């Protein structure tokens, strides 16, 4: 009799576990594909590319000017028109400008990263909000990104719902 009660309790436990897992609804989305299709992302990429070209042009101009100044100093050294003290001063000036260029390149990378975050974070937030809205409206307990899934049924793909929410 005791074993029958134990078996019944175990059966009820497993039945309740099976029922609770059936009630959960899972979905997945390919956020990278959705982001790639958004016009806002394409515009942000174009803005970033324009800024990058502008900064690279300025950096290239700085490098070219440094090269010209270096050649001018080198010619003055070869012609003997600079004293050793003047040579040291000119070398120090050129070295300082090299450091300024290196700092400019570092600042340029940081400026591009900051601009990328400024432009893309609101878009990421918009997509994330759309995914959350789709989950709430359709009773999904979890929505995973397709990039982390090894297998998923197409019936659980919520890309079209998220795209509709974003007006795509």
Domain residue spans in the chain? Answer: 24-165
Going 117 to 118 to 121 to 127, the CA torsion angle's sign is negative
**What global pTM score does this model have?**
0.70
Tens digit of each residue's pLDDT (9 = 90 or more) over 21-68: 556 888 999 999 999 999 999 999 999 999 999 999 999 999 999 999
Q: Write out the DSSP string of 32-70.
A: HHHHHH-HHHHHHHHHHHHHHHHHHHHHHHHHHHHHHHH
Contact in structure between 7 and 135 (CB atoms under 8 Å): no
The second-level CATH assignment, the architecture, of 24-165 is: 2-Layer Sandwich (3.30)
Q: What percent of the chain has pLDDT over 90?
A: 65
E strand or H helix at 151: none
In the prediction, which pLDDT does 117 show?
97
**Centroid of chain to Cα 66:** 34
């Amino acid at each position: 009799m005791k074993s029958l009660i134990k078996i019944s309790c175990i059966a009820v436990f497993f039945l309740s576990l099976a029922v609770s897992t059936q009630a959960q609804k899972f979905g997945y989305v390919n956020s990278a594909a959705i982001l790639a299709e958004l016009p806002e992302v394409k515009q942000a990429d174009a803005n970033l590319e324009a800024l990058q070209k502008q900064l690279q042009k300025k950096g290239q101009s700085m490098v070219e000017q440094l090269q010209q100044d270096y050649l001018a100093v080198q010619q003055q050294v070869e012609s003997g028109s600079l004293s050793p003290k003047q040579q040291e001063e000119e070398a120090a000036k050129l070295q300082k400008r090299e450091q300024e260029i290196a700092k400019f390149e570092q600042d340029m990378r940081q400026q591009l990263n900051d601009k990328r975050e400024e432009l893309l974070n609101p878009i990421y937030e918009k997509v994330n909000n759309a995914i959350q809205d789709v989950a709430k409206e359709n009773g999904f307990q979890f929505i995973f990104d397709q990039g982390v899934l090894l297998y998923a049924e197409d019936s659980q793909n919520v890309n079209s719902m998220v795209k509709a929410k974003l007006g795509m």
